[in-house]
Amino acid sequence: MAGYILRRLTNYLLLTFIATSSAYLLAGATLNPEANYLGRHPTPSIASIDLTLSRYNLNPHTPLLVRYGHWLDGLAHGSLGFTWDGQSINTLIAERSVVSLRLLLAGTIIGTVAGVALGAWNAVRQYRISDQISTVMSYLVNSMTVIVIAVLLEQLAIWLNQAVGQNVINFTGDSTPGVSQDTWHSFLDFLSHQTVPTVALVLMTTAYISRYQRSVMLDVLGSDFVRTARAKGLRRRTALTRHALRCALIPTATLSSYTIVTMFTGATLMELIFGWHGMGEWLVTSVGERDINAVAAITAFTAVLYLFAGLVSDLLVAVLDPRVRATS
């Protein structure tokens, strides 16, 4: 199994380097941060703009491969460089990744677990009333965009606040300005801002994962090894949980691993709607500001997340599928 993981890790590292390098070269060839300075009033001199951009390794007049070499050198020393206005990208990634983590992790994990459980339950109870209701609700949620779901939940929160007579649920930003910094009040404020985004993520993730898990589970339930297990005298519940569900979790484990970790940069609309300044919002802002280093850094961060997701997926598959362990 160690050899299997080592081979996969080598492949992932190579793909991560290729993806990151391609992103930097593409951004460096198409984005020109010089326009950010030319749009200022008063406009700085060309000499001062060139000096500033050269300091941040962003000068379009410097050959792209030379800038790429400097960027790789900084990356080798643990530095992702600076934004066009001089902010440390390392610091920004640390701050914004924590914001994305707070916003997305709980809802995605809860939604994934709920989706797996709901999908497996509906597969076992195929065509019963609970399966039919779940199917309709899942298709309804999947057909909506995140904007529609967010607006509906915001309206529900407003109605609840009016009914209670105070703002018990907030849905803008990740904290309330001026709130007391003691542990209890900070925790309550966190829950107040976390509720609506978490519910939205749970709904969307559960609806998506449950349909996939139901389909996979139905395929497994019709397999010969499940019928053989029942014929050998295993109780139905044991055959379903120990054999059918375990096998059905293998493709879902791969899907869920990538879904959870890539939400950091994939939930752009979620962050923009609820006013959370995370990685997804930063990606949109960086492209708009033609910030080459920031775009490359976010791509590198995403590539590392994919590497981590791939490793987690491979480990889960190896744990769930003894054939992988036997052949590795």
For residue range 148-176, list pLDDT tens digits in order.
888 899 899 989 888 888 888 888 877 77
Burial category of 255 from C-beta neighbours within 10 Å (exposed 0-12, middle 13-18, buried 19 and up): middle
Could you state, in order of their start, the residue ranges of all structural domains in the chain? 99-278
Greater confidence (267 vs 219) lies with 219
Looking at residue 118, its pLDDT comes to 93
**Joined tokens for residue 301:** 């961060």
- CA distances in angstroms from 31 to 23, 60, 294, 296, listed in the order given: 11, 9, 11, 11
Looking at residue 321, its pLDDT comes to 67
Taking 60 as the threshold, does the pLDDT of residue 115 lie above it? yes
Taking 80 as the threshold, does the pLDDT of residue 293 lie above it? yes
* C-alpha span between 23 and 80 (Å, rounded): 14
Distance of CA 187 to the CA centre of its chain: 24
Looking at residue 220, its pLDDT comes to 83
Q: Predicted confidence band at 72 (pLDDT cuts at 50, 70, 90)? A: very high
Contacts of residue 127, Cβ cutoff 8 Å, sequence gap at least 6: none
What is the pLDDT averaged over residues 52-68? Answer: 91
Query: For the chain, how many residues are written?
Result: 328
> Hey, what CATH class is 99-278 in?
mainly alpha
Which residues are paired to 82 by β-bridges? 88
Greater confidence (137 vs 221) lies with 137
Greater confidence (240 vs 67) lies with 67
**Joined tokens for residue 214:** 């139901």
Mean per-residue pLDDT over the chain, rounded = 84
Looking at residue 328, its pLDDT comes to 55
Q: Predicted confidence band at 101 (pLDDT cuts at 50, 70, 90)? A: confident
Torsion angle, alpha carbons of 269, 270, 273, 277, to 10: -100
Question: Sign of dihedral through CA atoms 100, 102, 106, 109?
Answer: positive
The share of the chain scoring above pLDDT 70, in percent, equals 93
Task: Give, in degrees to the nearest 5, the angle at Cα 157 between 153 and 162.
Answer: 150
DSSP code of 128? S
Q: Predicted confidence band at 277 (pLDDT cuts at 50, 70, 90)? A: confident
* C-alpha span between 178 and 142 (Å, rounded): 38
Burial category of 237 from C-beta neighbours within 10 Å (exposed 0-12, middle 13-18, buried 19 and up): exposed
Question: Count of CB atoms within 10 A of residue 55's CB?
Answer: 11
Taking 70 as the threshold, does the pLDDT of residue 86 lie above it? yes
Stretch among 71-75, 117-121, 170-174, 259-263 having the lowest mean pLDDT? 259-263
* C-alpha span between 277 and 87 (Å, rounded): 16
**Joined tokens for residue 275:** 């006013």
Looking at residue 324, its pLDDT comes to 58
* C-alpha span between 72 and 194 (Å, rounded): 38
For residue range 192-207, list pLDDT tens digits in order.
888 888 898 899 889 9
